[in-house]
Structure 1
Amino acid sequence: MKLLRPHPTPPPPPTPGDTLAEAQALHLDLGPHRILHGITLPVRAGELLALVGPNGAGKSTLLAALAADLPATEGAVHIHGRPANEWTPPELALRRAVLPQAATVSFPFPVEDVVRMGRAPHDTSPAQDEAMVHEAMAATEVTAFATRPFSALSGGERARVALARVLAQQAPLLLLDEPTAALDLKHQELVLRICRDRARKGDAVVVVLHDLSLAAAYAHRVAVLHRGKVAADGPPKEIFTDELLSRVYDQPIEVLPHPTNGTLLVTPRRTTLP
């Protein structure tokens, strides 16, 4: 007789300020190269944390380490207070949801089925699962093409479907790698509003971003990565300065207040074009 393993129990809702993931003196090697150098970084419930920095700074590697997808070479990563490697995959799936840079599906599943995959870790009723799937699709504005094959979508549409799958998973820790990269202006704003709303409701959200103005507008905290280290960590209005960003990006940068709402605008300093 085949014995079925019981589903693990979902974690209780976090309290704002709880540390849901943390890198502790984290060093990480990929092959012969050391990518991360002694990073210590907490991820807290109720907070949207943006990881920014130039190409090759280690943002995606750090996100993968926080997701327990890459093991630490030295130091440690904790998720929900335990070493990441002590959780089983089903337990991890109830505690953190990951959006990779590229969303790929091997078979031509309909969009709705792709989103429904996010419910796999849960032992809930079909009615509950369908409610979560439809809610996630509505939030990401993909309901209109629910029956279309995922493979027939544009890059931006695929990105939103992949985010809907992550939202349907209902994990309290969301780790999103460049979720706005393939999106138009409207949907970039939509995705960051969703992230901010999830943080407001008590989740911890970590997002890798290249658009510094988006990070300044939406993130509670920003960690600026430079050559595998955290060059600065704090609220964007405190750490986004001309001097820091110009040094990290090796490009003259200006940080200016928006003329109507005061949020920061981050732009390259350009000479007058002919």
Structure 2
Amino acid sequence: MGVIGVFGRRTRELPEAVPHGGLAAEADGVRVLRGRRAVLDGASVGVRAGEVLALVGPNGAGKSTLLAALAGDLAPAAGSVRIGGRAAGEWSAPELALRRAVLPQTAELSFPFPVAEVVRMGRAPWAGTVREAEDAAAVAEAMAATEVAGFAARPFSALSGGERARVALARVLAQRTGLLLLDEPTAALDLRHQELVLRICRERAAAGDAVVVVLHDLGLAAAYADRVGVVHGGTVAAAGPPAEVFGAELLGRVYRQPVEVFPHPRTGVPLVVPDRRTTGADIPSKHPA
């Protein structure tokens, strides 16, 4: 890793790119407690450079908690998390910010910053480094990709929920880290912009980044993810390519809703639809909530 020294600042190590297929982050046997309840209990998953990993599962399964653990934002009670080949807790907050960018579920700001300034906040970790020279290009590229350049001067507080979501994503993209962790980035978006966000994820993976995205839409996960991790009962119940993981029995048990899984007639991508011939009330859950 390259080492930089900046007058008046702590010396930081600049990250090196993770080779394609190499582990960018890894959770191993992670246990996370909320009070006395184990939200995660033995969850393990690896995130590789050059791939999109989608985390799916029912409400309350622990998807966002696993994402926060992978980001190094949440210290597990047991198990380990590694980012860039090192234990997450060994990185300082500024060093982590050079290695991973996190998009939370909600984006709130107390002051009416213009959109362009909100996106520029994503460049803060690189201040004083040689990559500070990329600031203008990174901001412009991120705003163009997310289609928010047209309202760059508008205050963030005046935007709709979907517009805010895209601006928040632009901030993450402007950060230009090799690991992107996105928590439900499509939740507030219309059909067009849902597709836009997942295409961006695929583009970042093709450029060598590792992308983890929490999704509720199984169709989007099947269409765009290289691998999916089904989070259920505090652990990753299954992980692998969507065509291998998305089976009617597993999904019906995890979601307690009967489903049918069909290959798309043109692409072969799994299509998951509710089996409305029954309600699912009688389906047992292997891991009760």
Q: Please indicate the TM-score interval, normalised by the length of the shorter structure.
A: over 0.9
- Matched letter for residue 214 of structure 2: V
Q: How large is the Cα RMSD of the aligned pairs?
A: 1.3
Q: How does 1:1-274 map to 2 (within 5 A)?
A: 4-6=8-10, 8-122=12-126, 123-124=129-130, 128-271=134-277
Relative distance call for 1:127 and 1:230 in structure 2 (3 A) is: closer
- Measured against aligned partners, the alpha-carbon deviations of 1:234-256 in whole angstroms (never above 9, x if no partner) come to 00001101111001000001111
Q: Secondary structure at the match of 2:12?
A: coil
Q: What letter matches 1:141 in structure 2?
A: E
The alignment partner of 1:254 has SS state of: strand
CA contact (8 A) 2:40 2:66 kept: yes
C-alpha separation in 2, matches of 1:22 and 1:29: 19
Write out per-residue CA displacement over residues 181-214 of structure 1, whole angstroms, 9 at most, x where no aligned residue: 0000000000000001101111000000000010
Give the TM-score taking structure 1 as reference length: 0.96
Which digits, 9 at most, give the CA deviation of each residue in 1:77-107, with x for residues without a partner?
1111111111011100000000000011111
Q: Gaps spanning 5+ residues in structure 1: where? A: none
Q: 3-state DSSP class of the match of 1:179?
A: coil
Question: d(CA) in 1 for partners of 2:148 and 2:52?
Answer: 23
Q: What is the alpha-carbon distance in structure 1 between the residues aligned to residue 195 and residue 125 of structure 2?
A: 29
Per the TM alignment, residue 9 of structure 1 is displaced from its structure 2 partner at its CA by 3.3
One-letter code of the match for 1:108?
P
**Aligned partners of 1:256, 1:45: CA distance in 2, in Å?**
29
Q: Distance in 1 between matches of 2:132 and 2:21?
A: 33
Match of 2:4 in 1: none
User: What is the DSSP-based 3-state SS (H/G/I as helix, E as strand, rest coil) of the residue aligned with 2:13?
Assistant: coil
| CA–CA distance in structure 2, aligned partners of residues 107 and 82 of structure 1 | 36
- Over 3 Å counting, the alpha-carbon distance change for 1:7 and 1:135 in structure 2 is farther
Q: Distance in 1 between matches of 2:44 and 2:163?
A: 35
How far 1:127 sits from its partner (Å)? 5.2
Q: Pick which of 13-22 and 209-218 moved more.
A: 13-22
Structure 1 SS opposite 2:167: helix
- Determine the C-alpha separation between the residues in 2 that align with 1:124 and 1:110: 26
Per mean C-alpha deviation after superposition, the further-off stretch among 148-157 and 11-20 is: 11-20
Query: Unaligned regions of 5+ residues in structure 2, if any?
Result: 1-6, 279-289
Aligned structure 1 segments of 4 or more residues deviating by more than 3 angstroms: 124-127
Q: Which moved more, 1:30-39 or 1:48-57?
A: 30-39
| CA displacement 1:160-183 (0-9 Å, x = unmatched) | 000000000001000000000000
Q: Please report how far the alpha carbon of residue 7 of structure 1 lies from its aligned counterpart in structure 2 after TM superposition.
A: 5.7
Distance 1:88 1:214 in 2: 34
